[in-house]
């Protein structure tokens, strides 16, 4: 069976990080949102995942993540941290594919959700407190848990730097 190698990038767009920091320094996770995409699988089930897509020639992982998030969600985001890499194999049309996906954390910059991308069925802002349970794929759930653990420090750093989420 022929083999192909594919590399993609994407990630989690976060909105509300600095605003989630409370006066006592605690972080209110219900004020932090992430943008996810939903796609129908072959059985017609809506599966939620992080936006991502193929890296174009001479394009960095960060640039790809920002472009793919915009194309699939309508949201402009800016990469501010690496999240992790997922590596897996699958077969499609008689070709064995080894795929590597580089995930990043992005800050919301601008835009409104839309599902105009033909590969996407639905897009949604979701409270980060519901992220892990909503994601369809175990590897993405693992990355989401890692992001969740980092969010308090990231939110406090954004608040300390005087950042504010554009509205």
Per-residue model confidence as pLDDT tens digits over 119-132: 899 999 999 999 99
pLDDT beyond 80 at 167: no
For residues 167 and 74, which has the higher predicted lDDT (pLDDT)?
74
Alpha-carbon distance of 98 to 34, in angstroms, equals: 28
CATH superfamily name and code, 3-161: Nucleoside Triphosphate Pyrophosphohydrolase (3.90.79.10)
- Strand segments, DSSP code E, in the chain are 3-15, 33-40, 46-49, 52-54, 75-92, 95-111, 122-127
List Cβ neighbours of 127 (8 Å cut-off, separation of 6 or more). Answer: 29, 30, 32, 33
Q: What is the pLDDT of residue 147?
A: 96
Mean pLDDT, residues 144-148 taken together: 96
- As a whole number of Å, the end-to-end CA separation of the chain is 51
Residue spans per domain, the chain: 3-161
Mean pLDDT for the chain overall = 95
SS3 (DSSP) at 90: strand
Task: Give the mean model confidence (pLDDT) for residues 101-126.
Answer: 93
**pTM score > 0.95 for this model?**
no
> pLDDT tier at 116 (50, 70, 90 boundaries)?
confident
Phi, psi (deg, nearest 5) at residue 57: -55, 135
pLDDT of residue 51: 97
pLDDT band for position 1 (50/70/90)? Answer: confident
């Amino acid at each position: 069976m022929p083999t192909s190698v594919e590399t993609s990038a994407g990630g989690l767009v976060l909105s509300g990080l600095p605003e989630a920091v409370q006066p006592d320094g605690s972080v209110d996770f219900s004020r932090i949102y992430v943008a996810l995409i939903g796609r129908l699988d072959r059985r017609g089930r809506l599966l939620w995942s992080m936006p991502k897509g193929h890296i174009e020639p001479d394009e960095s992982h960060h640039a790809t993540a920002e472009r793919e998030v915009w194309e699939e969600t309508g949201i402009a985001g800016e990469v501010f941290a690496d999240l992790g890499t997922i590596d897996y194999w699958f077969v499609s049309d008689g070709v064995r594919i080894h795929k590597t996906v580089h995930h990043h954390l992005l800050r919301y910059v601008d835009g409104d959700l839309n599902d105009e991308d033909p590969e996407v069925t639905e897009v949604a802002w979701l409270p980060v407190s519901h992220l892990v349970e909503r994601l369809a794929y175990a590897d993405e759930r693992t990355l989401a848990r890692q992001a969740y653990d980092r969010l308090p420090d990231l939110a406090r750093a954004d608040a300390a730097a005087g950042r504010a989420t554009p509205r």
